[in-house]
Structure 1
Amino acid sequence: MSDLDQLTQSLARNLKRWRGERAFTLDALAARSGVSRGMIIQIEQARTNPSVGTTVKLADALGISITTLLDYERGSRVRVVPVGQTVRMWSTEAGSSTLLLVGTESRGPLELWSWTLMPGESSESDPHPDGTTELLHVSAGDLTLVVDGTAHPVAEGASAAFEANVPHAYRNDGDVTLEMTMAVSIPPAR
Structure 2
Amino acid sequence: MADLDLLTQSLARNVKRWRTERGFTLDALAGRAGVSRGMLIQIEQARTNPSLGTVVKIGDALGVSITTLLDYEQGPKVRIVPAEQTVRLWHTDAGSYSRLLAGTESPGPLELWDWRLMPGESSSSDPHPVGTVELLHVTAGELTLTVDGVEYRVPAGSSASFEAAAPHTYGNTGTEPAELVLAVSVPPVH
Offset at 1:71? Answer: 0.4
* Alignment-derived partner of residue 9 in structure 1: 9
Indicate the percent of aligned positions where both proteins have the same amino acid.
Answer: 75
Query: What are the Cα deviations for residues 140-190 of structure 1, in whole angstroms up to 9, with x where unaligned?
Result: xxxxxxxxxxxxxxxxxxxxxxxxxxxxxxxxxxxxxxxxx9x9x9xxxxx
Q: Relative to 1, partners in 2 of residues 1:95 and 1:5: Cα closer, same or farther, differing over 3 Å? A: closer
1:73 and 1:79 in contact (8 A); partners too: no
* Alignment-derived partner of residue 103 in structure 1: 103
Matched, 1:80 2:84: no
State the distance in 2 between where 1:84 and 1:51 align: 22
Q: 5+ residue gaps in structure 1?
A: 111-180, 186-190
Q: Secondary structure at the match of 2:80?
A: strand
Bigger Rg, which one: 1
State the distance in 2 between where 1:11 and 1:89 align: 13
Q: Secondary structure at the match of 1:81?
A: coil
State the distance in 1 between where 2:33 and 2:57 align: 5
Query: What are the within-5 Å matches in structure 2 for residues 6-155 of structure 1?
Result: 6-91=6-91, 96-107=96-107
Q: Relative to 1, partners in 2 of residues 1:93 and 1:43: Cα closer, same or farther, differing over 3 Å? A: closer
When normalised by structure 2's length, the TM-score is: 0.53
State the distance in 1 between where 2:90 and 2:70 align: 16
State the distance in 2 between where 1:92 and 1:46 align: 25
State the distance in 2 between where 1:97 and 1:6 align: 21
* Alignment-derived partner of residue 159 in structure 2: none
State the distance in 2 between where 1:94 and 1:48 align: 26
Q: Counterpart amino acid of 1:71? A: D
Q: Secondary structure at the match of 2:88?
A: strand
Query: Which range moved further: 41-50 or 86-95?
Result: 86-95
Matched positions, count: 113
When normalised by structure 1's length, the TM-score is: 0.53
